[in-house]
């Protein structure tokens, strides 16, 4: 669905380019019929939200791959980190969690613990605590850095930054949901969501009303670039 949305944005921008050759930007012909007014509002809201909607659509596509990306990270990076313990017997009893976190903190200065995966869970190994740290800045707080600590000795086994594909996934989430800038940004995101709903609803209305119009009128609308009423000459022809 996200890819279909991107395709709709691209096709809409192509059609809008032809439409704008005949009208000034932001024109809403309030004195024309209902369909023309909705057409102008549809085009105006669509082009105003174009960049935002593209970002939300693309990040939405990235977010749908979250499960696949996480699974790949486990068989790629996590498997490399725990490779020295391959073939060992699982622990009967894990050691001190406090000691493991302290070890991770020493290996990740300037970062704070976000969550801990216990030995035997999918994000750790049968022999390790996996402690995930994050930064304190707006963007670094979205990026995790795992530290694998031996659960029996509290010694550090490995720590490394997330690969590029995990960073792309983690950074796509705040861009998609708009939850990284506090309440003001959330209000802006909500208003843009409402504008998008209006664009979708008006597009459906225009499509349905167009299907009920005579064939000659629909052909004339295509030739005129999007409307059949009160169109001015192309800007290049004005004097």
Q: What does the pLDDT read at residue 213?
A: 58
Residue 208: CB atoms within 10 A of its CB come to: 9
- d(C-alpha 16, C-alpha 47), whole Å: 8
- d(C-alpha 114, C-alpha 166), whole Å: 16
Does the model's pTM come out above 0.85? no
Let me know: does 170 contact 186? Beta carbons within 8 Å. no
Q: What does the pLDDT read at residue 230?
A: 42
CATH architecture group of domain 76-84+91-173:
Roll (3.10)
Q: Where are the domains of the chain?
A: 2-62+180-237, 76-84+91-173
Q: What does the pLDDT read at residue 9?
A: 80
Q: What does the pLDDT read at residue 138?
A: 74
Q: Which residues contact 42 (CB under 8 A, 6 or more apart)?
A: 198, 199, 202, 203, 206
Q: For residue 171, with 0-12 CB atoms within 10 Å meaning exposed, 13-18 middle and 19 or more buried, which class applies?
A: middle
- d(C-alpha 123, C-alpha 78), whole Å: 8
Q: What does the pLDDT read at residue 28?
A: 73
Low-confidence ranges of the chain (pLDDT < 50): 222, 225, 227-239
- d(C-alpha 103, C-alpha 148), whole Å: 9
- d(C-alpha 194, C-alpha 16), whole Å: 21
- d(C-alpha 209, C-alpha 120), whole Å: 60
């Amino acid at each position: 669905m996200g890819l279909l949305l991107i395709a709709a944005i691209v096709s809409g921008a192509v059609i809008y380019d032809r439409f704008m050759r005949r009208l000034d930007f932001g024109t809403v012909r309030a004195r024309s019929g209902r369909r023309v007014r909705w057409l102008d509002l549809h085009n105006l809201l669509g082009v105003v939200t174009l960049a935002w909607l593209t970002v939300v659509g693309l990040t939405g596509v990235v977010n749908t791959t979250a499960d696949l990306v996480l699974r790949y990270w486990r068989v790629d990076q996590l498997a490399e980190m725990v490779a020295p313990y391959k073939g060992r017997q699982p622990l009967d009893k894990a050691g001190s969690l406090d000691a493991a976190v302290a070890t991770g903190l020493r290996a990740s200065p300037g970062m704070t613990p976000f969550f801990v995966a216990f030995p035997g869970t999918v994000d750790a190994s049968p022999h390790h605590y996996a402690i995930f740290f994050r930064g304190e800045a707006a963007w670094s707080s979205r990026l995790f850095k795992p530290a694998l600590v031996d659960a029996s000795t509290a010694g550090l086994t490995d720590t490394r930054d997330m690969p590029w594909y995990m960073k792309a996934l983690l950074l796509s989430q705040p861009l998609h949901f708009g939850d990284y800038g506090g309440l003001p940004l959330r209000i802006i995101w909500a208003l843009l969501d409402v504008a998008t709903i209006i664009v979708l609803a008006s597009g459906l209305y225009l499509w349905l009303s167009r299907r009920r119009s005579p064939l000659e009128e629909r052909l004339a609308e295509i030739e005129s670039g999007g409307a059949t009423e009160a169109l001015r000459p192309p800007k290049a022809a004005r004097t």
